[in-house]
Amino acid sequence: MLERATGFGEPGLRFVQQDIADFTSEQPFDVVFSNAALQWVPDHPALFRRVAQLVSESGELAVQMPANHDHPSHTIAADLAGDGAFARETNGYVRKIPVLRPEEYAAILHSLGFAEQTVQLRVYGHVLRSADDVVEWTRGTLLTDYAAHMSAATFARFLDEYRRRVLGELGDERPYFYAFKRVLLWGARRQAGGGQTVSSAPQPP
Ligand X SMILES: C[S@@+](CC[C@H](N)C(=O)[O-])C[C@H]1O[C@@H](n2cnc3c(N)ncnc32)[C@H](O)[C@@H]1O
The one among 19, 26, 57, 70 contacting ligand X by CB under 6 A: 19
Residue 106: count of CB within 10 angstroms of its CB: 18
Least distance between ligand X and beta carbon 136 (Å): 15
Q: Are strands 55-66 and 29-35 parallel, antiparallel or unpaired?
A: parallel
> Is 20 near ligand X (CB under 6 A)?
yes
Considering beta carbons, is residue 137 or 176 the nearer one to ligand X?
137
Q: At 115, is the secondary structure helix, strand, or coil?
A: coil
Least distance between ligand X and beta carbon 88 (Å): 27
* E strand or H helix at 168: helix 152-170
**Contacting range for ligand X; rule: CB under 6 A; set: 29-37, 69-77, 112-120, 195-203:** 29-37
**Contacting range for ligand X; rule: CB under 6 A; set: 19-27, 55-63, 68-76, 165-173:** 19-27
Considering beta carbons, is residue 89 or 138 the nearer one to ligand X?
138
Helices and strands of the chain, counted as H and E runs: 8, 4
As a whole number of angstroms, the distance between CA 100 and CA 85 comes to 30
Least distance between ligand X and beta carbon 119 (Å): 19
Site for ligand X in 69-98 (CB under 6 A): none
Considering beta carbons, is residue 34 or 154 the nearer one to ligand X?
34
Residues ≥6 apart with Cβ < 8 Å to 175: 127, 128, 129, 130
Least distance between ligand X and beta carbon 36 (Å): 4
The one among 5, 30, 35, 58 contacting ligand X by CB under 6 A: 35
**Contacting range for ligand X; rule: CB under 6 A; set: 35-43, 72-80, 108-116, 144-152:** 35-43
> Is 41 near ligand X (CB under 6 A)?
yes
Lateral strand order in the sheet of 29-35 = 29-35, 55-66, 176-188, 116-128
> Is 21 near ligand X (CB under 6 A)?
yes
Please give the DSSP secondary-structure letter assigned to residue 39. G
Site for ligand X in 136-195 (CB under 6 A): none
In this structure, is the dihedral angle defined by the CA atoms of residues 31, 37, 42 and 45, taken in order, positive or negative?
positive
Decide: 30 and 56 in contact? Cβ < 8 Å.
yes
As a whole number of angstroms, the distance between CA 189 and CA 109 comes to 9
- Which residues contact ligand X by CB under 6 A? 1, 19-21, 35-37, 40-41
